[in-house]
Amino acid sequence: MDDMAFFRELVTGLNRGLLMSVMLIIPSALGGLIIGIVAGALRAFGNSLVIRIGDGYAALFRGTPLVVQLFVLYFGLPNVGIYLTPYWAAVTGFMLCSGAYQSEYVRGALLSIKRNQYLGAQALGFTRLQTIFWVIIPQAMRRALPGCGNEIIYLIKYSSLAYIVTFMELTGEGKTIATEYFRFTEVFLVIGFYYLILVSVAKIILRKTEKALEVPGFGSV
């Protein structure tokens, strides 16, 4: 009887949390990817000032713990008059942190494109921007995809830190129920299973994307 009530509450709570987690993860992953592509491209091709700014951004967000970043965004920014809701504090933190890591994958991929691809385009009369946009980025994208996918999978799991800024997502909901019933092991095992499903879905989507972009001579099987 008691078990029934516990499981009913657990499942409703976790499903609610799952939805919240998905609402966190999707914009954070997309935002992080966009920031990563822009920052990575600027760090690969910008002038020395732009490169320094980009490197500084990556150093700051890869060099400090995400928890600290979230604290600053949620509890620190009100001191200078900026108030973020828990949701936006979390999404902003995730995007900036994920973007810093993504920019490394993107930068590496951009730099791996051989010089003869530039020369080929330049000799045909492509402008520098056209070369980057139509030749370098499409190739680099395929090289970067496995790394970027890895970062998204990692993001799915560190999205659990949103409960630190009081946003009730999967882990937060679970923790509340666990405390209420004092049944930590069961609750966290189920939470783990939920994340496993989330990651599996992400993996399928990433694999599909890789397949769709597959070109002979670009590595992926």
Site for other proteins, rule CB under 8 A: 116-117, 119-128, 130, 134-135, 138-139, 142, 215-218
Rounded to a whole number of angstroms, the minimum distance from the CB of residue 202 to other proteins is 25
The residue (of 65 and 138) whose beta carbon lies closer to other proteins is 138
With H, G, I as helix, E, B as strand and everything else as coil, classify residue 169. Answer: coil
Rounded to a whole number of angstroms, the minimum distance from the CB of residue 113 to other proteins is 9
CB 131 within 8 A of CB 118: yes
The CA-CA-CA angle for residues 149, 151, 153, to 5°, reads: 70
Distance CA 52, CA 58 (A): 10
What DSSP letter does each residue of 61-98 carry, written as one string?
A: HHHS-HHHHHHIIIIIGGGGT----HHHHHHHHHHHHH
Going by C-beta distance under 8 Å and a sequence separation of 6 or more, which residues neighbour residue 203?
149, 153
Rounded to a whole number of angstroms, the minimum distance from the CB of residue 51 to other proteins is 21
The residue (of 4 and 123) whose beta carbon lies closer to other proteins is 123
The residue (of 64 and 117) whose beta carbon lies closer to other proteins is 117
The residue (of 11 and 213) whose beta carbon lies closer to other proteins is 213
CB 17 within 8 A of CB 190: no
Q: How far is CA 8 from CA 5, 14, 15, in A?
A: 5, 10, 11
Rounded to a whole number of angstroms, the minimum distance from the CB of residue 148 to other proteins is 17
Rounded to a whole number of angstroms, the minimum distance from the CB of residue 38 to other proteins is 21
The residue (of 75 and 133) whose beta carbon lies closer to other proteins is 133
